[in-house]
C-alpha cells in the first residue's frame, strides 16, 4: 500500500503555502513603499514642494509639475464625470437589458482594454494635430478622460444598480417623473459609490505617463492656462530617471506620487466602506 500523506498535515501545509503566497504579494507592496520612502522622503522639503524646477530638474522643486497634474485631473474629470454618469444613468434607468445594452457595455470594456500608449497616440493624432490644440493640458485632459470613462461608467452603474428598486417605485407612485426620481432619489443614494469611482480615477490620472507625454507634452514652465503644455509629476519622474538628470529629485517626486495615490486609494476605500455600511 502506498504511503498516504496524513490529511491533517496536508491541510496545514496548504494553509501555510497559501499564506506565504499572500504574504509575498503584500511584501512586494511594502517593499516598494519602503524603497521609495527611504530614497525619496529625505528630498521632500517645503521648498521642494513650492519652488519650480531649475536646470531641467537638476535642482529646484516640483511645484510646476504638481500644478500641471492638478490641472490635468481637473480637465479630465470635468469631461469624464458628466459623460460617465450620464451613460451609467442611461444604461441602468432608461433601457432594459437587451442586445444593445450588452453591445454598449462590451464597447466600454473594450475601451478599458486599450493600452494607454495607443490612447496617447490617438490623442496626439486627433486633439494635438487634427484639432490644432497642440501639446496642452486640454489635449491631455481630453485624452485622459477617454481613459477614465470605462471606470466611471462601470462604478457608477454598479452604485446605481445597488439602490433598492422599491425606492423608485415609491417615488413613481407619488407621481414623480423618472428624471426627478433619478436626480432626487437614485443619485443621492448612489453617490458614495459614484464618488469612489471618481476618486479611483483620480489615482489613475496621477500615475499615467504615456498618455500625457503624447498629448500634454513635457514643458517645465508653470502652465498658466489649459492651452499651455505642462509636465505632470509622473512624466517628470520618468524624464528625470530615464535621462539620469537627478536621481534624488526623481525619488522625491516618486515619493510624492506614491503618497498621493496611497492617500487617494485609502479614501476611496473609506468612502466605499461607509457606503456598504449604510446599505
Partner 1 sequence: MSAKIIVRNLNFSYNHHKVISDLNLMVEANNILGIMGPAKSGKTTLLRIFNRLCDLIPNIRVKGEIFLDGENILLPDLDVDTLRTRVGMVFDKPVPLPRSIFENLAYGPRIHGVKDKKRLEELVEKSLRLAILWDEVKDRLQEPATKLSGGQQQRLCIARTLAMEPEVILLDEPTYGLDPISTLKIEQALQGLKKDYTIVLVSNNTWQVARISDNVAFLLMGELVEYGTASEIFTVPKDRRTNDYISGRFG
Helices 187-207 and 63-89 cross at an angle (nearest 10°) of 140
Closer Cβ to partner 1, 8 or 166, answer by number:
166
What residues between 87 and 126 interact with partner 1 by CB under 8 A? Answer: 96
C-alpha cell at 115: 493600452
> Rounded to the nearest whole angstrom, what is the least distance from the CB of residue 189 to partner 1 in the complex?
6
> Rounded to the nearest whole angstrom, what is the least distance from the CB of residue 96 to partner 1 in the complex?
6
- The span from the CA of 30 to the CA of 26, in Å, is 6
Please select the residue that binds partner 1; options are 117, 167, 247, 263, rule is CB under 8 A. Answer: 167
Closer Cβ to partner 1, 184 or 273, answer by number:
184
Please select the residue that binds partner 1; options are 175, 242, 244, 277, rule is CB under 8 A. Answer: 175
Please select the residue that binds partner 1; options are 70, 104, 185, 245, rule is CB under 8 A. Answer: 185
Closer Cβ to partner 1, 11 or 95, answer by number:
95
Closer Cβ to partner 1, 107 or 164, answer by number:
164
Q: Can you give the C-alpha Rg of the chain in angstroms?
A: 23
Please select the residue that binds partner 1; options are 172, 207, 248, 265, rule is CB under 8 A. Answer: 172
- Inter-residue contact 113 to 75 (CB < 8 Å): no
What residues between 146 and 165 interact with partner 1 by CB under 8 A? Answer: 164
Q: Which residue from 157, 144, 68, 81 is spatially nearest to 111, judged by alpha carbons?
A: 144
Q: Where are the alpha helices (DSSP H) in the chain?
A: 7-40, 46-50, 63-89, 99-113, 116-123, 137-161, 165-173, 178-181, 187-207, 210-215, 233-242, 247-278
Q: Which residues of 177-210 are buried (b: 16+ CB within 10 A; e: fewer)?
A: eeeebbeebbbebbebbbbbbbbbbbbbbbbbbb
Phi-psi category of residue 52: left, alpha or beta, with phi > 0 → left and psi -120 to 50 → alpha: beta
> Rounded to the nearest whole angstrom, what is the least distance from the CB of residue 194 to partner 1 in the complex?
15
Please select the residue that binds partner 1; options are 108, 155, 171, 253, rule is CB under 8 A. Answer: 171
Which listed range, 26-34, 108-116, 143-151, 185-193, lies at the site for partner 1 (CB under 8 A)? 185-193
Closer Cβ to partner 1, 74 or 172, answer by number:
172
Interaction of residue 129 with partner 1, rule CB under 8 A: no
Which residues of this chain interact with partner 1, rule CB under 8 A?
A: 96, 164, 166-167, 169-177, 180, 184-185, 188-189
Amino acid at each position: 500500500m502506498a504511503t498516504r500523506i496524513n490529511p491533517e498535515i496536508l491541510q496545514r501545509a496548504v494553509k501555510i503555502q497559501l499564506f506565504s503566497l499572500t504574504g509575498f504579494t503584500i511584501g512586494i507592496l511594502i517593499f516598494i513603499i519602503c524603497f521609495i520612502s527611504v530614497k525619496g522622503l529625505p528630498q521632500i522639503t517645503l521648498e521642494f514642494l513650492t519652488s519650480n524646477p531649475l536646470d531641467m530638474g537638476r535642482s529646484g522643486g516640483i511645484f510646476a509639475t504638481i500644478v500641471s497634474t492638478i490641472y490635468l485631473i481637473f480637465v479630465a474629470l470635468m469631461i469624464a464625470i458628466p459623460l460617465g454618469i450620464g451613460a451609467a444613468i442611461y444604461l441602468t434607468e432608461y433601457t432594459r437589458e437587451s442586445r444593445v445594452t450588452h453591445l454598449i457595455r462590451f464597447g466600454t470594456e473594450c475601451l478599458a482594454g486599450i493600452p494607454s500608449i495607443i490612447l496617447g497616440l490617438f490623442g496626439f493624432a486627433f486633439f494635438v494635430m487634427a484639432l490644432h490644440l497642440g501639446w496642452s493640458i486640454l489635449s491631455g485632459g481630453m485624452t485622459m478622460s477617454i481613459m477614465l470613462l470605462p471606470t466611471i461608467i462601470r462604478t457608477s452603474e454598479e452604485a446605481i444598480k445597488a439602490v433598492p428598486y422599491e425606492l423608485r417605485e415609491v417615488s413613481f407612485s407619488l407621481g414623480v417623473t423618472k428624471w426627478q426620481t433619478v436626480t432626487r432619489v437614485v443619485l443621492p443614494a448612489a453617490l458614495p459609490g459614484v464618488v469612489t469611482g471618481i476618486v479611483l480615477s483620480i489615482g489613475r490620472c496621477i500615475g499615467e505617463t504615456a498618455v500625457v507625454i503624447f498629448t500634454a507634452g513635457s514643458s517645465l514652465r508653470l502652465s498658466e492656462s489649459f492651452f499651455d503644455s505642462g509636465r505632470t509629476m509622473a512624466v517628470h519622474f520618468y524624464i528625470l530617471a530615464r535621462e539620469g538628470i537627478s536621481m534624488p529629485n526623481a525619488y522625491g517626486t516618486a515619493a510624492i506620487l506614491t503618497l498621493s495615490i496611497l492617500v487617494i486609494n485609502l479614501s476611496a476605500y473609506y468612502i466605499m466602506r461607509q457606503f456598504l455600511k449604510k446599505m
